Amino acid sequence: MTTAHVKTAKGTRTRDRMLESAVVLIPRLGWSAVTARALAGHAGVRPGIIHYHFDSLEALLAEAAVGAVREALEYPSRQLESGISLDEGLHMFLAALDEFAPDEPVNLLFVETFLAAARGGVLRGELAQVLLDFRTRTARWLERVGFDGDADATAAVLAAAVDGLMLHRALDPGLTADKAFPVLRRALGTTAATEGSSP
């Protein structure tokens, strides 16, 4: 499995520092442009140490990315299960939009990880599972909160929309949570008439 013969606190700290550097550099440089030397430089270590703590650079990136995504979803996940309302929940989803920080853009990390996973490898299965789990929790929350449409499909679209908004936000600073809220609020509204009419 993952090479991780860490026995002392110092070793753990170095390992963690490299993981954190990966989380910073992946969005900044792009997944495949994060080199061993760039990462080591950012973490304040020599490149050689990478292969003491990890099997490969790619394994380091994958562990860092999935870990960051899992961690980023933990708090929202718990919130959803704490009985918050539909409006509160949607606000929480969109809060990530306005927390956009150019120096540590977690949103772009999400997208980079998505793309890296789409290219295949171990990442694909792991990330898919993390996201499916979160989507399921979102669907259960929707049901709990009184949504009476297809909760699973709605949760899937909501998650996709938030990711898409984070991506677009990177190019358009005017795309704030305030703007997006009413639109998505409508999608979460009481399930309306199934079909309109063509003029």
Partner DNA sequence: GAAGTATTTGGACGAGCGTCCAAAAGATTC
Partner DNA sequence: GAATCTTTTGGACGCTCGTCCAAATACTTC
Q: Is 187 in the site for a second copy (CB under 8 A)?
A: yes
Q: Is 185 in the site for a second copy (CB under 8 A)?
A: yes
In the list a second copy, DNA, none, the entry touching 117 (Cβ below 5 to 8 angstroms by class) is a second copy
Is 62 in contact with 125 (CB distance < 8 Å)? no
CB closer to a second copy, 63 vs 89: 89
Q: Is 164 in the site for a second copy (CB under 8 A)?
A: yes
- Cα separation, 59 vs 39, in Å, equals 13
Question: Which listed residue (20, 58, 126, 143) binds DNA by CB under 7 A?
Answer: 58
Is 126 in contact with 67 (CB distance < 8 Å)? no
Question: Which listed residue (1, 7, 48, 182) binds a second copy by CB under 8 A?
Answer: 182
Question: Cα angle at 117 between 116 and 121, to 5 degrees?
Answer: 105
- Cα separation, 32 vs 53, in Å, equals 20
Total Cβ atoms within 10 A of residue 123: 22
Q: Is 162 in the site for a second copy (CB under 8 A)?
A: yes
CB closer to a second copy, 54 vs 105: 105
- Cα separation, 122 vs 118, in Å, equals 10
Is 26 in contact with 34 (CB distance < 8 Å)? yes
Is 3 in contact with 54 (CB distance < 8 Å)? yes
Would you give the binding string for DNA spanning residues 99-128, x where CB under 7 A is met? ------------------------------
Q: Which residues bind a second copy (CB under 8 A)?
A: 28-33, 85-88, 105, 108, 111-112, 114-119, 124, 127-128, 131-132, 145-146, 149-150, 153-154, 156-165, 167-168, 170-172, 175, 179-180, 182-189, 191-196, 198-199
